[in-house]
Amino acid sequence: MPKPVGAITRGTTGANRLRRADRWLAAVHGRVLRAADRPLVVDLGYGASHTTTLELFERLRAIRPDVEVVGIEIDPARVALARPYEREGLSFRLGGFELPVARPPDVVRAFNVLRQYGEADAWHYWDLLTGRLAPGGVLVEGTCSETGHRAVWVGLDGSGPRTLTFSARFDAFERPSDLADRLPKTLIHRNVPGERVHAFLKDFDHAWAVSAPYGAHGLRQRWLASVGVLSARWPVPRTPPLGGRARWRLGELTLPWDALG
Ligand SMILES: C[S@@+](CC[C@H](N)C(=O)[O-])C[C@H]1O[C@@H](n2cnc3c(N)ncnc32)[C@H](O)[C@@H]1O
């Protein structure tokens, strides 16, 4: 077997850490799985435990009962640890960015993997991974805090990055720009004056500040009001699956990548 592409990095993970991204994936891209003949999902770099891959499997089986999920890890010891948890439709194998699976995956989730590489590598591996997707497939690449209460992820298809999503528990930040430390590797160095992502986070903080009175009805109402303020200046999708109250009320906000990247 050829050497897996990539490098072993820290294996930090935790139960329910990726719940926010899984929920978004199921709601926004569930149709990709529903439409596929034999839906295949890869969880790339699942870390020191099989837990988040098993959670992804269970969440996606709820919307497509025959979905197959393959956890891929570059650390052979972590593959050995996960193997006892295999079951029908869920398997674990050694590999890297080359994605050693039998057919192009419909979905690839890679969380807290690329942040441990350089910025140039991150762009390169985006290309490599999206080039391996089945037609209409999606890569969800993101970063989150240790508990998963603050997360940012990018949705990519065969033509590149398409969406950027911010997601946070309402008690896990003081102002929206606190999420900047979870920006993808390809954007984090661009969070400086003069760059769009910086202007956006500044506007988001302003929208949050002027929406403070809505906090009397709870932070969810304040978030919803902030999104309303932001929508006047930024192309916030306002209808499902990417936008609308049902998504925003979760402490989530998705924008087209082109608006920020
Ligand atoms: C920080 S853990 C993330 C675990 C899990 N995805 C999460 O978010 O909780 C990153 C894992 O990715 C693995 N990894 C890094 N580069 C990889 C690659 N190219 N292919 C497969 N796994 C990789 C590392 O060995 C490590 O176990």
Nearest CA to ligand 1 atom 25: 8
* Cα–Cα nearest to 68, from 36, 20, 24, 46: 36
Q: Is 54 in the pocket of ligand 1 (CB under 6 A)?
A: no
CATH architecture entry for 19-260: 3-Layer(aba) Sandwich (3.40)
When pLDDT is averaged across residues 163-167 and rounded to a whole number, the result is 98
Q: Where are the domains of the chain?
A: 19-260
Measured from the CA of 8, which atom of ligand 1 is nearest? 25
Q: What are the φ and ψ backbone dihedral angles of 166, each rounded to 5 degrees?
A: -105, 140
Distances (CA, A) of 234 to 170, 220, 256: 22, 20, 10
Q: Please, what is the angle between helix 19-35 and helix 51-61, to 10°? A: 50
- Confidence (pLDDT) at 214: 97
* Cα–Cα nearest to 79, from 43, 46, 116: 46
**pLDDT 10s digits, 43-88:** 999 999 999 999 999 999 999 999 999 999 999 999 999 999 999 9
Q: Does position 250 have pLDDT exceeding 90, yes or no?
A: yes
Structural contact between residues 130 and 39, judged by C-beta atoms closer than 8 angstroms: no
**Percentage above 70 pLDDT, the chain:** 100
Measured from the CA of 48, which atom of ligand 1 is nearest? 27
Q: Is 47 in the pocket of ligand 1 (CB under 6 A)?
A: yes
Measured from the CA of 7, which atom of ligand 1 is nearest? 16
Dist. CA 247 → ligand 1 center (Å): 28
Model-level pTM?
0.97
